[in-house]
Amino acid sequence: MGWPGCVAHADAHAATGSWFNGEVKRSSRHLQAAALTAFASAAACSHPSPAPAPSPAAPPASAAPTSPSDTILFRKPSRFGEVFVVQNGPQRCLTLDTPKDIQSCIVPAEPGKVVHEYVRYLTAGILVAPDAPRTLMIGLGGGSVVGIMRSAAPGIRFDIVEINDAVVEAARRWFGITECESLHVHVGDGRAFVEGAHGAWDMIVLDAFSSEGIPPHLGTEEFLRAIRGRTSPDGAVVANLWNTDPVLYKNMLRTYREVFPATYVFEGRESGNVIVISLQGELDGGCTTIRARARDARWSARLSFDLGAVAAVCTPIAAVDLAGSRVLRDAEWKGMGDGGVR
């Protein structure tokens, strides 16, 4: 079945890049059941979950399963590479370029299940913007980030920006994505959308990856300043970065610090993903306040994972060694052909 209600995901799909390449403590059984129930009723505008998709017709030889347990449900070329939806047992994943380049996964039979660590870490955004009624997400995928955030904070309304229309098609056909009054999907470049927008969002989530990394134009000082201008005074910017290239990683953090001095870093323990949360002004108590908020009983009642374990790795950016790093600017990617500017 698909995600209950009207949900979408902003995790991993945007224009390709060049110099941005980079590659629970469990609650009680009662609380886990409550979390799944909350997830199932999280959407503000619900609709019947789509029935399980029928087995596809025999695929062409070029779309043969990648292992005995894999079934390719969807495959479509786009100007950003091929988009796949692959079923592996109970798990359904959206991939780019190859069936093995996983971007996003869900378990349709367990809507509250979190497959990837970075989804748990992105959810920390609700600790600094718990009442963010208007949220912008750049990227679209299998529904996990938005679904989990809605389970924790059901009143959130989303604008989702996705550059790849094939990803949008896959999400609608195979992940139960639907639009409604509280969720709108916009096909286009995330930066162009931000720069042409009016007003502000309470939370902006930057979770745009291609198979080659973060698009260059979504990581520069100029872009982050545009993002800051579209964030409400008490709002937050939550970004998914990658730390497998140490030099580039430090440069990205340095760029965030240049634009948002009040930034907190959450380094993943299971992957190379790093979540940074940036604010317009300093948060009283910093990471101590974030950890205290994570102990709120409502999170353990609504989520199937321990948000306190995420908050435990919070580090103020001032405590991160950024010696030798530099700010990333537009001049570094302009003139590089279509290097991510789609």
Structure confidence by residue, pLDDT tens digits, 178-233: 888 888 999 999 999 999 999 999 999 999 876 567 889 999 999 999 999 999 99
In a domain, 164, yes or no: yes
In a domain, 240, yes or no: yes
Within the chain, residue ranges assigned H as helices are: 29-40, 117-122, 125-128, 144-152, 165-174, 190-195, 221-229, 246-259, 286-294, 297-302, 307-311
Closest alpha carbon to 161 in 220, 207, 211, 96: 207
Give the mean model confidence (pLDDT) for residues 229-241: 95
How far is 57 from 308, CA to CA, in rounded Å?
Answer: 45
In a domain, 15, yes or no: no
User: Does pTM top 0.85 for this prediction?
Assistant: no
Q: How many domains does the chain fold into?
A: 1
Tens digits of per-residue pLDDT, 101-136?
Answer: 888 898 989 878 889 899 999 999 999 987 778 999
The pair of three-digit structure tokens given for residue 46, joined into one six-digit string: 């619900």
The pair of three-digit structure tokens given for residue 171, joined into one six-digit string: 């999400």
Tens digits of per-residue pLDDT, 42-61?
Answer: 433 443 333 333 333 333 32
How far is 109 from 2, CA to CA, in rounded Å?
Answer: 8
In a domain, 52, yes or no: no
In a domain, 180, yes or no: yes
Domain of residue 291: give its range: 117-332
pLDDT above 60: residue 12: no
Residue 6 pLDDT class (50, 70, 90 cuts): low
In a domain, 230, yes or no: yes
In a domain, 227, yes or no: yes
Query: Looking at residue 219, what is its pLDDT?
Result: 93
Q: Among this protein's residues, is 207 annotated catalytic?
A: yes
- Of 11, 159, 189, 207, the active-site residue reads 207
Report the interhelical angle of 246-259 vs 221-229 (nearest 10°): 40
In a domain, 261, yes or no: yes
Highest mean pLDDT among 44-53, 62-71, 145-154: 145-154
Tens digits of per-residue pLDDT, 286-319?
Answer: 999 999 999 999 898 899 999 999 999 999 999 9
Query: Looking at residue 53, what is its pLDDT?
Result: 39
Q: What CATH number does the domain containing 139 carry?
A: 3.40.50.150
Give the mean model confidence (pLDDT) for residues 272-298: 95
pLDDT above 50: residue 28: no
60 three-state secondary structure? coil
Share of the chain above pLDDT 90, in %: 51
